[in-house]
Structure 1
Amino acid sequence: MKNTMEYQGYVGTVEFSEEDRVFFGKVLGIRSLLSYEGTTGEELINDFHGVIDDYLAMCKEKKVKPEKAYKGSFNIRISPDLHKKLAIQAIANNMSLNSYIEKTLSAAIA
């Protein structure tokens, strides 16, 4: 069972409250708080889609660019020693540090 779902490039969580007997979630990776809920899986999916559609319509109406999650850029904090070792490995492989880290991360999740 997955605990996320995707619609129009946006990823949302899937959670369940036993106390309230309701599925709920929120859109990940953007500053705007977009949440949704439903008593069935079908209701949850429909509300998730509706929240995204409403958000995009509101952005269009207000002439603002919708936030996009996971733009392909993020900052991480690592030790200076690890940074140095990664840079040396990148040079040894005739790659930029960015390309080397992307290749390494891709291999890690494959």
Structure 2
Amino acid sequence: MTTLTYHGYTARIEFDGEDEIFVGRIAGIPDVIGFHADTVKGLKKAFHEAVEDYLAARETLGC
């Protein structure tokens, strides 16, 4: 299994051979945050956006 890290968050990455996409999920948080893309560059961008959105939501909710 491959991982990516950004701003202290780690995501587990898998390849979905049927849909031919990379699928990721942020690990170690109580929420389910997933993302996907069909290129490595797109996957990294989607991961960064997912983390930024998660942090913004936590700030809005006062967490």
Instruction: Confirm or deny a common fold (TM above 0.5).
Output: yes
TM-score by length of 1: 0.55
Task: Please give the TM-score of this superposition, normalised by the length of structure 2.
Answer: 0.93
Runs of 4+ in 1 over 4 A off after TM superposition: none
Structure 2 residue 56 is matched with structure 1 residue 57: yes
- Which of the two has higher C-alpha Rg? 1
Corresponding residue SS for 1:56: helix
Q: Percent identity?
A: 32
Q: Which one has the bigger strand percentage?
A: 2
Residue 45 of structure 2 aligns with which residue? 46
Q: Following superposition of structure 1 onto structure 2, how do residues 26-105 of structure 1 map, counting pairs within 5 Å?
A: 26-64=25-63
User: Structure 1 or 2: larger helix share?
Assistant: 1
The corresponding residue for 2:7 is: 8
Higher relative contact order (CA 8 A, sep 6+): 2
Instruction: Give 3-state SS (helix, strand or coil) of 1:14's partner.
Output: strand
| 1:58 CA drift (Å) | 0.8
CA-based RMSD? 1.1
Which consecutive residues of structure 1, in runs of 5 or more, have no partner in the other structure? 65-110
Unaligned runs of 5+ in 2: none
- Report how many residues are paired: 63
